[in-house]
């Protein structure tokens, strides 16, 4: 791989390819961090949808603090994928989760992007080794797995494939940090990475319980928001369970509850996602949403995430008075730029 044309700190132009839920969220994030963003998506109504997503996200982004000069006006939606990446210093791919599509799109991006520019895929679970098979320069392809919405949830999991250069993984990890993200750089590939493997274990169990009539969608959601979810926002499952061992910590917790691990508390096989289970999940979520639209739920979620980030000290709690007499709420996320 030719070495990257610029240092992560020098990046000014980012391309986002695929502009749905996640690609659009990335666009909003990079705009808020003060980058010039080009975007391409083949859907006929993509530009209108993308600008709507950015406009809906902007109040939350203003609340957590915009970079100097950040503006939705710095978004250019291009007519072709080649135009989107022609001048880019970093490319984020967020096309549908279909392996063949990812393979050919990443090869197309590799052919069109300037030599050496790092290209990251938002894939939720494919190892890069499986996606980089058709690219002429697989060395610059990495996974950069975000969490929804990428403009508020800090984590990005970064990992390369067998043919990725270590330098590209390092460059991407540094770039995401500069761009305001919290990064886990994985040493080795693992389908689903770290967080989605954990989420999927919980998700499979939730689907089994609904399929078997053992719990409702509401009970499952309440069991997390009224229970472990409150702890997980600031203390992970391992340290949280260490406290379950009292003064004896994790050692006592394992001695005490270890034998229960052998009890059949979980079913690791995925349930059959048949029409009945699908309908039960959709109906349960419709009931939980009540009269709230998706747009209202997105705004509610965004405010909830901001409140949690503030409450856990990852964003300033108080608005501060600037020297210009104007109240600012600077973001502490991404203060490396
Ligand atoms: N939805 C989520 O919560 C998360 C999704 N991801 C990953 O992000 C990627 C995108 O997922 P979503 O945004 O949820 O899907 P989406 O369906 O909302 O958006 C996909 C977009 O890709 C466009 N598209 C279709 N063919 C394309 C092509 N050949 N080239 C470029 N764009 C194309 C579609 O028009 C659509 O706008 C997937 O790899 C997914 O696994 C990652 C983290 C979370
Ligand atoms: C549903 N999902 C598997 C696409 C979710 C993710 O990949 C990450 C997230 O946002 O939770």
Q: Which residues contact 66 (CB under 8 A, 6 or more apart)?
A: 32, 34
**Tell me: the pLDDT tens digits for 218-231?**
999 999 999 999 99
Q: Centre a 10 Å sphere on the Cβ of residue 35 and count the other Cβ atoms it contains.
A: 23
ipTM of the predicted assembly exceeds 0.85: yes
Question: Would you say residue 335 has pLDDT above 90?
Answer: no
Domains in the chain (CATH in brackets) are 13-185 (3.40.50.720), 196-312 (1.10.1040.10)
Q: How far is CA 13 from CA 7, 35, 91, 122, 156, in A?
A: 12, 6, 9, 18, 19
pLDDT for the residue 137: 97
Q: Higher-confidence residue: 202 or 2? A: 202
Residue 288 marked in a binding site: no
Q: Higher-confidence residue: 78 or 335? A: 78
Residue 20 marked in a binding site: yes
pLDDT for the residue 264: 67
Minimum CA distance residue for ligand 1 atom 19? 20
**Tell me: the pLDDT tens digits for 160-199?**
999 999 999 999 999 999 999 999 999 999 999 999 999 9
The tokens describing 190, both together, are: 């693992």
**53: Cβ below 6 Å to ligand 1?**
no
**Tell me: the pLDDT tens digits for 7-40?**
999 999 999 999 999 999 999 999 999 999 999 9
How many Å is the Cα radius of gyration of the chain?
A: 21
Question: Would you say residue 329 has pLDDT above 50?
Answer: no
Alpha carbon distance 183, 171 (integer Å): 12
Q: Characterise 245 by phi-psi region: left (phi > 0), alpha (psi -120 to 50), beta (else).
A: alpha
Q: Higher-confidence residue: 265 or 299? A: 299
The ligand 2 atom at the shortest distance from the C-alpha of residue 124 is 7
**124: Cβ below 6 Å to ligand 2?**
yes
The share of the chain scoring above pLDDT 70, in percent, equals: 93
Pairing of strands 327-328, 320-321: antiparallel
Alpha carbon distance 284, 210 (integer Å): 9
**Tell me: the pLDDT tens digits for 36-95?**
999 999 999 999 999 999 999 999 999 999 999 999 999 999 999 999 999 999 999 999
**203: Cβ below 6 Å to ligand 2?**
no
Ligand 2 centroid distance, CA of 124 (Å): 6
Mean confidence (pLDDT) of the chain = 91
**14: Cβ below 6 Å to ligand 1?**
no
The ligand 2 atom at the shortest distance from the C-alpha of residue 200 is 3
Measured at the CA of 35, the angle between CA 29 and CA 36, to 5 degrees, comes to 115
Q: Which residues contact 253 (CB under 8 A, 6 or more apart)?
A: 241, 242, 244, 245
Contact 155, 29 (CB under 8 A): no
**Tell me: the pLDDT tens digits for 129-172?**
999 999 999 999 999 999 999 999 999 999 999 999 999 999 99
């Amino acid at each position: 791989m030719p070495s990257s044309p610029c240092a992560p700190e020098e990046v000014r132009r980012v391309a986002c390819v695929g502009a749905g839920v996640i690609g659009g969220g990335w666009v909003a994030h990079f705009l808020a961090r003060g980058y010039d963003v080009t975007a391409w998506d083949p859907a006929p109504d993509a530009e209108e949808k993308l600008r709507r997503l950015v406009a809906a996200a902007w109040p939350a982004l203003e609340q957590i603090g915009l970079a100097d000069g950040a503006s939705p006006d710095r978004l250019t939606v291009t007519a072709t994928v080649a135009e989107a990446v022609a001048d880019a210093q970093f490319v984020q791919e967020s096309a549908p989760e279909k392996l063949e599509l990812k393979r050919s799109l990443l090869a197309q991006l590799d052919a069109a992007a300037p030599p050496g520019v790092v290209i990251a895929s938002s894939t939720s679970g494919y190892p890069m080794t499986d996606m980089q098979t058709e690219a002429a320069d697989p060395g610059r392809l990495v996974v950069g797995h975000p969490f929804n919405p990428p403009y508020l949830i800090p984590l990005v999991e970064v990992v390369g494939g067998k043919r990725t250069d270590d330098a590209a993984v390092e460059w991407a990890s540094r770039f995401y940090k500069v761009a305001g993200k919290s990064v886990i750089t994985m040493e080795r590939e693992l389908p689903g990475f770290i967080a989605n493997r954990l989420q999927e274990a919980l998700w499979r169990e939730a689907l089994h319980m609904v399929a078997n009539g053992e719990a409702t969608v509401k009970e499952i959601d309440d069991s997390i928001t009224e229970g472990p979810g409150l702890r997980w926002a600031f203390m992970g499952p391992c340290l949280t369970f260490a406290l379950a061992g009292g003064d004896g910590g994790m050692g006592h917790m394992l001695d005490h509850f270890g034998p229960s691990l052998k009890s059949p508390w979980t079913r690791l096989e995925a349930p059959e996602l048949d029409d009945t289970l699908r309908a039960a999940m959709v109906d349960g979520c419709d009931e939980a949403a009540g009269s709230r639209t998706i747009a209202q739920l997105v705004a509610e979620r965004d405010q909830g995430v901001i409140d949690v980030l503030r409450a856990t000290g990852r964003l300033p709690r108080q608005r501060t008075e600037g020297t210009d007499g104007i109240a600012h709420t600077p973001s502490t996320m991404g203060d490396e730029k």
